[in-house]
Amino acid sequence: MCHQSVSLAARYLEEHGIATAVLGCARDIVEHCGVPRFVFSDFPLGNAAGRPFDEDSQRLTLDLALGLLESARTPRTTVQSPLAWSEDPGWKADFCDLSRIPRSEVAARRSDFEAQKERAREVSR
């Protein structure tokens, strides 16, 4: 949801004259929504601003975003970071890997999800 919320907010700010750049790791969600400027890092979720304890990586990622603010001429401009998370792309297979979730945990996850939805409904009323 993070990527969608941020994408919607970027669109809203742009509609009101504020230039934006989104940093994200979920390319499909951001581009499906449609944003003006997007820096995509092909990293695990939670690292949209660069790799941990790697200031060069963080500096490069922000600089890509600042460069987009200056150089993009049309909406839906995506720049992909040249950095990779690791030499082994195996991490990509693990997100929401159902085989990793014990059957006993399914009910707990569903219950937690329902609680989140109820709390969100209260806020929307």
* Positions in 99-118 near another protein (CB under 8 A): 100-101, 106, 109-110, 112-113, 115-117
Residue 40 neighbours by CB distance under 10 Å: 19
User: Closest Cα partner for 37 from 6, 81, 74, 8?
Assistant: 74
Dihedral of CA atoms 8, 9, 10, 11 in degrees, nearest 10, equals: 50
> Shortest approach of another protein to residue 70 CB, angstroms?
5
> Shortest approach of another protein to residue 102 CB, angstroms?
12
Is the CB of 90 or the CB of 104 nearer to another protein?
90
Number of residues that bind another protein (CB under 8 A): 94
Site string for another protein, 60-99 (x = CB under 8 A): xxxx-xx--xx-x-xxx-----xxxx-xxxxxx-xxx-x-
Site for another protein in 13-42 (CB under 8 A): 13-30, 32-36, 40, 42
> Shortest approach of another protein to residue 79 CB, angstroms?
13
What's the start-to-end Cα distance of the chain, in Å?
Answer: 20
Is the CB of 104 or the CB of 124 nearer to another protein?
124
> Shortest approach of another protein to residue 101 CB, angstroms?
8
Residue 25 neighbours by CB distance under 10 Å: 21
